[in-house]
Amino acid sequence: MSSHDHVPVLLEETMAYLSPRENGLYIDATLGYAGHARRILEMTSPAGRLLGVDADRLAFDSARASLQAFAGRVSLVCSYFDRLDEIAREWGFVPVDGILFDLGVSSPQLDDPGRGFSFQASGPLDMRMGPDAGHTAADIVAGASEEELARIFHELGEERYSRRIARQIVAARARSPVTTTNELARVVAAAMPRHPAAGARVARQQIHPATRVFQALRIAVNDELGRLREALPRALSILRSQGRLVVITFHSLEDRIVKRFMQAEARGCICPPDIPRCACGREPRLRILTKKPLTPSIEEVKANPRSRSAKLRAAEAI
Ligand SMILES: C[S@@+](CC[C@H](N)C(=O)[O-])C[C@H]1O[C@@H](n2cnc3c(N)ncnc32)[C@H](O)[C@@H]1O
Pocket perturbation via mutation, ligand 1, pick of 31, 83, 230, 306 by most ligand atoms within 8 A of CB: 31
Ligand 1: does its nearest atom lie under 6 Å from the Cβ of 56? yes
Rounded to an integer, what distance in angstroms lies between the CA atom of residue 129 and that of residue 124? Answer: 14
229: CA distance to ligand 1 center in Å? Answer: 16
Rounded to an integer, what distance in angstroms lies between the CA atom of residue 75 and that of residue 93? Answer: 10
Q: Which residues have CB under 8 Å from 220's CB, separation 6+?
A: 137, 140, 152, 156
Which residue, judged by its Cα, is nearest atom 21 of ligand 1? 80
32: CA distance to ligand 1 center in Å? Answer: 5
Residue-by-residue DSSP string for 215-239: HHHHHHHTTHHHHHHHHHHHHHHTE
Rounded to an integer, what distance in angstroms lies between the CA atom of residue 185 and that of residue 206? Answer: 16
pTM for the model: 0.93
pLDDT of residue 206: 62
pLDDT of residue 154: 96
Please name the residue ranges forming H helices in the chain.
Answer: 11-18, 35-43, 57-66, 84-90, 107-111, 137-143, 146-157, 162-175, 181-191, 200-205, 211-221, 224-237, 252-267, 298-303
Nearest ligand 1 atom, CA 222: 19
Rounded to an integer, what distance in angstroms lies between the CA atom of residue 63 and that of residue 3? Answer: 7
Residues in the chain with pLDDT < 70? 1-4, 131-133, 195-206
Helix (H/G/I), strand (E/B), else coil: 189 = helix
Pocket perturbation via mutation, ligand 1, pick of 54, 247, 250 by most ligand atoms within 8 A of CB: 54
Nearest ligand 1 atom, CA 130: 25
Selection from 54, 47, 51 nearest residue 88 by Cα: 51
Contact present, 66 and 5 (Cβ < 8 Å): no
Ligand 1: does its nearest atom lie under 6 Å from the Cβ of 251? no
Ligand 1: does its nearest atom lie under 6 Å from the Cβ of 80? yes
Contact present, 250 and 231 (Cβ < 8 Å): no
Ligand 1: does its nearest atom lie under 6 Å from the Cβ of 59? yes
pLDDT of residue 204: 47
Ligand 1: does its nearest atom lie under 6 Å from the Cβ of 128? no
pLDDT of residue 76: 96
